[in-house]
Amino acid sequence: MKADRTPLWLGIGLAVFLGGGWLIPAWAQSLAILALGKGLVVLGLLLLMRCGLVSFGQGLYYCLGAYAAVSISKIFNLPPSLLTSDAVVMPLAGGIVAGAVAFVLGFLLANYRSIFFAMLSLAFSMILYGLLIKMSVLGSSDGFNITYGTAAGIRLAPGAHLFALYAVSVAMVFAALLGAHRFLSSHTGRLGPAIRDNELRVEYMGASVRNVVHLNYVAAAVLSGVGGGLVALSIGHIDPDLAYWTTSGEFVFVAILSGTTNVAAPFLGSLIFEWIKSVAYQYTPYTWQLVLGVALLLVIMFLPAGLWSLFGRRGKGA
Amino acid sequence: MASLVSVLIDGIIYSSYLFIIALGLTLIYGVMKILNMAHGSLYALGAYVAATLIGAWFNAGLNPYGSLALLALSALLVGVIAGPIIERGLLRFMYGKDEIVLILVTYSIFLILEDVIKLIWGVESYTAFQPYGLLGNIDIGALPYTVYDALLVVVAVLVGVAVTFVLTRTRQGKLLVAVIHDREISAAMGINVGRVYFITFTIGTMLAALGGALIAPKVSVVPAMGVEVIVLAFAVVVIGGLGSLPGAALGALIVGLVRSAAVHYLPEVELFSIYLVMALVLIVRPKGLFSAAEARKI
C-alpha cells in the first residue's frame, strides 16, 4: 500500500497559498476569500452528495454561520468582545451554531431521501429566511454590517485586515481539506458512496445508515457555517437573502460543476464560478444567469462527474 | 367576525391562483417524475405576455371586455410555444436520469428563462390593471370585493373540474393515468409515452402561464415574480402530496388560508408560517397528505 501523500501536498499547498497571497492584488484576495468560503459550503454538499443526497437548503447553515456570532451578542445585548470582532472566532462560532442546529434537525432529515430530503431542507431554510426578514433586532430585510478588528485575539494593524482574513480563510480551508480527506478515507466515510449505491445492503452488513447520514449532515452544516462566517466578514454585510433558496441553488450548481471525486474540486469549482460570475456580471448584467444555465446543462450532459473529471482518469464516475 | 370572513375570502382567492399553478407542477411531476423548477419562470412568462397584450389592446382602444379573453390567449401562447421548445428541445434527452439530476436540468432552464425574460422585457415593471376593475365590485358583508377575484375562484374550480374530467372520463386521460402508474408497462402495452410526456408538459406549461396571466392585472409584473412563486408552489404540492390532484387543491387551500390568516392576525409570521406548515406536513406525512401507497421496487 502506498503511503498517503495527501497531507504533504496539502501542506505545500497551504504554504504556496499563504505566500502567494502577498503577491496577488487586493481584489484577487477578496475574490479568493469568497471562493474559499463558498467552497467550504460546497465541500459540505459534496459530503452529502457522496451519500446520494442533494440539499436545496444549505443556505440555512450558510446564513446561520454568517449571522450567528453577531446575532448572539445583539440578542443578548452583550458588550463588544471577541465574538463580535474577531476574524477567527466569528466563523468558528458560526460553524458551531450551524452544527448544533444540524444535529437537532438531523434526527429528522436522516430519514429522508431524494427529492423529499431536498424539499424538507428547502423548507427549513425558507423558515429561517421568513424569520430573519421580520426580526427588527437583526435589521429585518436590510440585514446589518459586520466588521472585524482582531484575528485570534491579535489586534490588526490598519491595512492588514484583508490579508489577515485571507490567511485565516486559507488556513481554515486547508484544515477542512485535511479533515475531509481523513474522513473520506476512514471506514465511516467510505460508507457514504455505499449508501448511495444500495442502502439496504449497507444495513444488512451491520452499519447504521441513519447515523452515517446524520454525521455527514452535521459535518456539512459545520463547513457551511464556517464558510458563511468567512464570506460575511469578507463582504462586511449580511442580510436574509443568504438563506433564500436561490443561494442554496447556487451552491448545488457549484457542486455539480465541481463533481464529487476530489475534496479539492469544490474550491476549484467555486473559484471558477465566482470568476465567471464577476466577469459575466460586469459585461453582460442581464445574461450572466443565462450563461450559467447553459454551462450547467453542458456539464450535466457532457461531464456528469464534474470539471474535476477533466483531470486524471476518465470514467471514474461521481 | 367580519375579519374571519375576510380571512376566509382572501385565503380562497389566493388559493385559487396557487391551485392553478400547482396543478401544472403536480401534473408534470405525476406523469414525468420531474419536479420542474422552471415552473415559476413559465408563470412569469405568462404574466409578461398577458401584460404586453393587454397594454397593446387598450392602447388600440378596442373593446375593454375583450381583454379578458387575452388572459386565456396568453396562457395558450406560452403553453404552445415554450412548452414544446423545452420538452422537445431539451427534456426528452434527459428522461431516465435520476430525479435529482432532472431537478438540476430544470434549475438550469430556470436560470436561462429568468434572463430570457429580462432580455425581452427589460427590468422595468409592467402593469395591466385595466381588466381588474372592469367588472365592478360586489359587497360581501361590509367588504367590497372585485368581480374579477370572484371570477378567479370560478376559473380555478373550472380548471380543476376540467382536468379531473379529462383524466377520468376520456381515453387520452386514461392513457395518462396508466403512464403515471407505470411508465414501462404502459410503453409495453403500446402507449406512446413520448407523446404523453409532450402533451403533459405543454398542458403543465399552459397552467403555469394561466396562473401568471390571471395574476398580472392584480400586481405589477416584475422580474423576480417567478422566483417567489416557485417555492410557494413547491410548498403546495409537497403539502398535498406530489403528483396528486386533490392534494394540489387541498395544499393550495391550506397555504392560501394560512397565509391570509397570518397576514390578518400576525403579519410578522406571514412567510415563515407557510414553510413551517410545509415542514410539519413533511415531518408527519413525509410524502404529503394525499400520497398513494407505493409498492417497493427493487
- What band does A318 get if pLDDT is binned at 50, 70 and 90? very low
Residue A317 has pLDDT above 60, yes or no: no
| B115–A289 C-beta distance less than 8 A | yes
Which residue stretches of chain A are H helix?
Answer: 6-23, 26-50, 59-75, 82-85, 89-109, 114-132, 161-184, 187-197, 199-204, 209-235, 245-258, 265-283, 288-302
| A126–B231 C-beta distance less than 8 A | yes
Amino acid A276: pLDDT: 81
Alpha carbon distance A214, A55 (integer Å): 13
Of B99, B101, B278, the CB nearest to A300: B101
What's the gap in Å between the CA of B153 and the closest CA on chain A? 27
The total domain count for chain A is: 1
Judging contacts by C-beta atoms under 8 Å, the chain B residues touching residue A292 are: 108, 111
Instruction: Give me the mean pLDDT over the A192-197 stretch.
Output: 86
Amino acid A1: pLDDT: 46
Instruction: Judge whether A272 lies within some domain.
Output: no
| A118–B274 C-beta distance less than 8 A | no
What phi and psi values does residue B69 have, to the nearest 5 degrees? -65, -30
Instruction: Judge whether A287 lies within some domain.
Output: no
- What band does A220 get if pLDDT is binned at 50, 70 and 90? very high
Instruction: Judge whether A199 lies within some domain.
Output: yes
Amino acid A313: pLDDT: 52
Instruction: Judge whether A15 lies within some domain.
Output: no
What ipTM was predicted for this assembly?
0.84
Q: Which of residues 91-120 of B touch A (CB under 8 A)?
A: 93, 99-101, 103-105, 107-112, 114-116, 118-119
Mutation pick from B282, B284, B296, B297 vs chain A, by most beta carbons of A within 10 Å, is: B282
What are the residue ranges spanned by the domains of chain B?
20-226
What's the gap in Å between the CA of B111 and the closest CA on chain A? 5
User: In the structure grid, which three cell numbers stand for residue B243, read together?
Assistant: 403528483
* Residue in the structure block whose three cell numbers are 387551500: B253
Alpha carbon distance B259, B198 (integer Å): 34
Side-chain-facing half-sphere of A120: CA atoms under 13 Å: 24
DSSP secondary structure, B240-272, as one string = H-TT-HHHHHHHHHHHHHHHHHHHHH-GGGHHH
Alpha carbon distance B212, B71 (integer Å): 9
| A114–B107 C-beta distance less than 8 A | no
Alpha carbon distance B86, B205 (integer Å): 10
A74, burial (CB in 10 Å: exposed 0-12, middle 13-18, buried 19+):
middle
Amino acid B130: pLDDT: 80
Alpha carbon distance A213, A114 (integer Å): 13
Identify any residues that bridge with B146 across adjacent strands, giving them in sequence order: B137
Alpha carbon distance B199, B177 (integer Å): 13
A57 CA to centre of own chain = 12
Q: Give the domain range for residue A257.
A: 40-262
A13, burial (CB in 10 Å: exposed 0-12, middle 13-18, buried 19+):
middle
- Taking the CA atoms of residue A71, residue A76, residue A81 and residue A82 in that order, the dihedral angle to the nearest 10 degrees is -50
Of B35, B114, B275, the CB nearest to A126: B275
Pairs from A286-290 (Cβ < 8 Å, separation ≥ 24):
A286/B115, A286/B118, A286/B119, A286/B123, A287/B115, A287/B118, A287/B119, A288/B115, A289/B111, A289/B112, A289/B114, A289/B115, A290/B111, A290/B112, A290/B114, A290/B115, A290/B116, A290/B119
| B111–A293 C-beta distance less than 8 A | yes
User: In the structure grid, which three cell numbers stand for residue A196, read together?
Assistant: 448511495
Which residue is closest to A135 within chain B, CA to CA? Answer: B268
Q: Give me the tens of pLDDT residue by residue for chain B, a chain 298 residues long.
A: 558 888 888 899 999 989 999 999 999 988 888 889 999 999 999 999 998 988 888 888 878 787 888 888 888 999 999 989 999 888 888 887 877 788 889 999 999 999 899 889 888 888 877 888 777 778 777 777 888 888 889 999 999 999 999 988 998 888 888 888 888 888 898 888 888 899 999 999 999 999 999 988 888 888 888 888 898 898 899 888 888 888 899 999 999 999 888 888 887 777 888 888 888 888 888 777 876 665 554 4
What are the tens digits of pLDDT across the range A149-193? 777 777 777 777 888 888 888 889 989 988 888 888 888 888 888
Which residue is closest to B238 within chain A, CA to CA? Answer: A119
Alpha carbon distance B295, B238 (integer Å): 20
Judging contacts by C-beta atoms under 8 Å, the chain B residues touching residue A286 are: 115, 118-119, 123
Instruction: Judge whether A133 lies within some domain.
Output: yes
What are the tens digits of pLDDT across the range A108-136? 888 888 888 888 899 999 999 988 888 87
Alpha carbon distance B43, A109 (integer Å): 31
Report yes or no: B16 and B242 within 8 Å, Cβ to Cβ: no
Judging contacts by C-beta atoms under 8 Å, the chain A residues touching residue B275 are: 123-124, 126-127, 130
